[in-house]
Structure 1
Amino acid sequence: MKIFLLGGTKDSTNIITHIKENYDAFILTTTTTEYGARLAKEAGSDDTIARPLLKDEIADIIKKENFDILIDATHPFAEHITNTSATIARELKIPYIRFERPITNLENIDTSHIHYAESFEDAGKLIASDFTQGNVLHFAGANTMADIVKHVSVERFYPRILKVENSIKKCEALNIDPSHIIAMKGAATKEENIDLIERYDASVMITKESGEIGGVVEKIEAANEMNIAVIMIKRPKIEMLNKNDIVNDLKEFDKKIKSF
């Protein structure tokens, strides 16, 4: 089978490895960065495209190359591409799977330092009104910085980003001092997060509700230990998704693939 995979996440590389180990399949993975494409190749993807694709481009590739399945394994906050991919699958009448990592289980974790926000705009306003002292660690990606610094001074703002050209340019456009940029790859450990809190004299940390694979638990535990606030952005609700399209783990994924 030929699989068109929207990737760029740890979930997507896990899926690629799983598919290549268990199925006879050709996989084309699309990511928005060269870094993501390289990880997809290392995981076993047969081909990659390392740039954002428009809806018509995705549809044309699927039609011209006769792909059998469309899999969306993008980030839980990549609302636009998930809506787009679900729409394409319906229009082309192609089997579709949305792999969505489960919500973080916080049952046995102290959540007293967490403050929930519906959006990054709301998070910026909350920090401006309630957390006026100390610095702000932004652990939510380069694409979300602008909504925060509308309300929070860049003098207090320390984003953790991938050190790629596009992300650096976004920092420059927002006048973020290069010394404030924290360049890291992958999820950080609790100890690494504690070190960043201490090093940058942070009083608040911004993160997405991106699931355990995104290091949410380690961020919360570090914040608890250092007695700082966590602003948690809630996941967006994807209107175009049918709940029957969604799988949360590889066991559900296998069951879904075998149903086609």
Structure 2
Amino acid sequence: PVPTLSGGFGGEDGLVAYCREHGIGLLIDATHPFARQISRNARAAAAVLDIPCLRFERPPWTPAEGDDWRSFESWQDMAAAIPEGKRVFLAGGTQSIEIFTQRDDITLWARALNVAGREGPPNVSFINAMPQVEMTEERETFEQHGVELLCCKNSGGHASFAKILAARDLGIPVWMLQRHTPDPSARKQMARLQIHDNVEDVVLAARQIGRAYAISAPSIP
């Protein structure tokens, strides 16, 4: 079995120390597209250690014909743009909730983990749950609450795409927090970074690096 570590490393310095202690010769960053801090730490640690860093980043969702999508650079901008009186379903995680609950002139349903028992303003309802897997379940949720606008992250992948399909089916506009790309000014960090949008390419790159640096690379069952 592959050794696993659950929890943080203690920032960039902690990750550098861990890699040095265990003789790590390659970093593979497969975190969530919006887990920006750990990705920054991985790039920075790879630069300090002068080792390669591979980033797996699933492709973002793209609109289909007829979709009503709008992109925003921040939750603050998104929340501020919501018209008064809108019935909004927020699926942006706990970090977005504090921002959206400041709007007392909308009706808000906020879905996230660890919000059970949380109290908010009268216009806000919390749903302590993961995204539904089936489109029909998400559609039922939207219809039950009369949702007029879906606010979420452009996470990509299949795990939470059902809500996008449900919004498409019901003709509900979708507002998305767009992704931030790594700062190109951090040239030393970027020089050791490779970004791939599928697992097979990450494994292939790891094998190539393994042959070049004589380190073990992962395998696909």
Q: Give the shorter-chain TM-score range.
A: 0.7 to 0.9
Give distance in 2, aligned partners of 1:134 and 1:145. Answer: 16
Query: Who is 2:10 aligned against?
Result: 53
- CA gap 1:48/1:63 in 2 versus in 1, 3 angstroms: same
Letter of the 1:126 partner, please give it: A
Structure whose alpha-carbon radius of gyration is higher: 2
Task: Determine which of 171, 186, 194 is the counterpart of 1:245.
Answer: 194
Matched residue, 2:142 = 197
Residue segments in structure 1 that go unaligned for 5+ positions in a row: 1-19, 21-25, 27-45
TM-score under structure 2 length normalisation: 0.79
* Identical counterparts, % of pairs: 22
Task: Please tell me whether the aligned partners of residues 111 and 129 of structure 2 are also in contact (alpha carbons under 8 angstroms).
Answer: yes
Check whether the contact 2:149–2:175 (CA below 8 A) recurs between aligned residues.
yes
Count of aligned residue pairs for this structure pair: 203
> 1:97, 1:225 → 2: CA distance?
37
Give the match's secondary structure for 1:213: coil
Amino acid at match of 2:58: R
User: CA separation of 1:88/1:187 partners in 2, compared to 1, >3 Å: closer, same or farther?
Assistant: farther
Equivalent residue number for residue 138 of structure 1: 90
| 1:82-161 equivalent positions in 2, closer than 5 A | 82-106=39-63, 108-111=64-67, 113-127=68-82, 130=83, 132-150=84-102, 152-153=103-104, 156-161=107-112
> Cα RMSD between the aligned structures?
2.6
Q: 1:257 aligns with which of 181, 186, 206?
A: 206
What amino acid sits opposite 1:242 in the alignment? M
Take 2:10 and 2:116, find their aligned partners in 1: how far apart are those partners? 21
Looking at structure 2, the residues matched to 57 and 88 of structure 1 have their Cα atoms a distance apart, in angstroms, of 9
Instruction: Give the 5 Å matches for 1:21-36.
Output: 26=2
**Alignment partners' CA distance in 2, 1:187 and 1:200:** 15
* Structure 2 portions without partners, runs of 5+: 210-221
Greater helix share, structure number: 1
Structure-1 residue corresponding to 2:217: none
Question: Which ranges of 4 or more aligned residues in structure 1 deviate by more than 4 Å?
Answer: none
